[in-house]
Amino acid sequence: MQTIKTLVIEIFLYATLLSACAAQTNAQSVATLSVTGEVTTPLELKIQDLAAMKQIARKVKDRDGKEHEFKGVALIEILQKAGVTTGAKLRGENLTKYALITAADGYKVLYALAEIDPEFTDQVILLATEKDGQPLPAGEGPFRIITPNDKKPARWIREVRSIKIAFARN
Ligand SMILES: Nc1nc2c(c(=O)[nH]1)N[C@H]1C(S)=C(S)[C@@H](COP(=O)(O)O)O[C@H]1N2
Ligand SMILES: [Mo]
């Protein structure tokens, strides 16, 4: 009797754990990233959309000096897909544009377009979806910005939900 009871409890706990894992995986695969503002084509990207784009990897050190390899898509490619002024078009007043990036927890960071464009810099800013060969976990992913040349990781914004392109105004 006792063993049957134990077995029933075990099966119940196992099923609960399985459904919790499935729910988390699902939340990660349905989370979207919107690209709006000064764009010709607003985007609503899922992790599957990014997986279909060119993948690049960068090794960086976290705030504790530990090395990690992040993999994903170059942020510039996302901006190009949305029709943001890049390359030859990134001149004149377009140089006053920025990307304001917002996370699920309300954290925000800003990059000037010229910081992202390969005609201005050799640094490749990543919209990462993997860390050390694994999808980014809840709380960090599914999308995270990695800026290899920043000396501290404060702009490596986790849980990115939106990128808004705008003109700086004064
Ligand atoms: N969404 C979000 N991203 C964030 C932060 C935050 O509070 N929220 N903190 C930043 C800061 S200040 C640091 S130092 C790094 C820490 O990254 P880690 O958690 O991978 O060590 O994340 C950055 N990205
Ligand atoms: Mo930080």
pLDDT tens readout for residues 79-107: 999 999 999 999 999 999 999 999 999 99
Q: How far is CA 15 from the centre of its chain?
A: 31
Mean pLDDT of the chain: 91
Ligand nearest to the CA of 131: 1
Residue 101 Cα distances to 53, 74, 110, 156, 163, angstroms: 20, 15, 6, 10, 5
Q: Are residues 36 and 3 in the same domain?
A: no
Tell how far the Cα of 156 is from the centroid of ligand 2, in angstroms.
9
* Residue 107 near ligand 1, beta carbon < 6 Å: yes
Three-state DSSP class for residue 128: strand
* Residue 57 near ligand 1, beta carbon < 6 Å: no
Q: Indicate whether 60 pLDDT > 80.
A: yes
Q: Are residues 17 and 97 in the same domain?
A: no
Q: Are residues 68 and 139 in the same domain?
A: yes
d(CA 139, CA 159) in angstroms, rounded, equals 6
Selected residue with higher pLDDT from 127 and 28: 127
Give the residue, out of 67, 107, 110, with the most ligand 1 atoms within 8 A of its beta carbon, to mutate for a pocket test.
107
* Residue 157 near ligand 1, beta carbon < 6 Å: yes
d(CA 26, CA 164) in angstroms, rounded, equals 25
Which pLDDT score, from 0 to 100, does residue 25 have? Answer: 58
Tell how far the Cα of 104 is from the centroid of ligand 2, in angstroms.
17
Q: Name the residue range of residue 26's domain.
A: 1-30
Structurally, how many domains does the chain consist of? 2
Tell how far the Cα of 154 is from the centroid of ligand 2, in angstroms.
5
Ligand nearest to the CA of 66: 1
* Residue 62 near ligand 1, beta carbon < 6 Å: yes
* Residue 63 near ligand 1, beta carbon < 6 Å: yes
- Give the CATH number for residue 145: 3.90.420.10
Q: Are residues 83 and 161 in the same domain?
A: yes
- The pTM assigned to this predicted structure is 0.88
Could you tell me the pLDDT band of residue 9, with boundaries at 50, 70 and 90? low
